Amino acid sequence: MLTLSQPQSLPPGPFLIKSFAASVQAGFPSPAEDHQIERIDLMHQLVKHPQATFMLRVAGHSMRDAGILDGAVVLVDRAIKPESGHIVVAVVDGDFTCKTLHMGRNSLRLVSANPDFADIVPKEGQSIEVWGVVVATIVQHPT
């Protein structure tokens, strides 16, 4: 389930951070490389449709196994056409939720990424609207 504070579009202007040309190993360290630092605009890398992109904070654990943790921020692009397999934000009977969209020929299912949570299969008269497609997840780690 997502809590929705006031949707915020991205503020104008670039957000420049330092970036190394090399990748970092998560297993065994690699020998030192020539690390050239360049500046990149993080929002430019993540946001393709600024007027249609919103940040929402996630509350809950139903998408844990997809790497979307409680307290994370998701970037949601409303300009992308949702397809089966996309992680989406949907409105189910007026409440926001984040799930993986599965569409069949005549069916729709919102799938959790945690076996402790049931999938959402629309029932007769139930209102479901796919609100937008999740394009990135931002998780802040304790320092």
Catalytic residues: 62, 99
Nearest Cα residue to 68 out of 77, 56, 79: 56
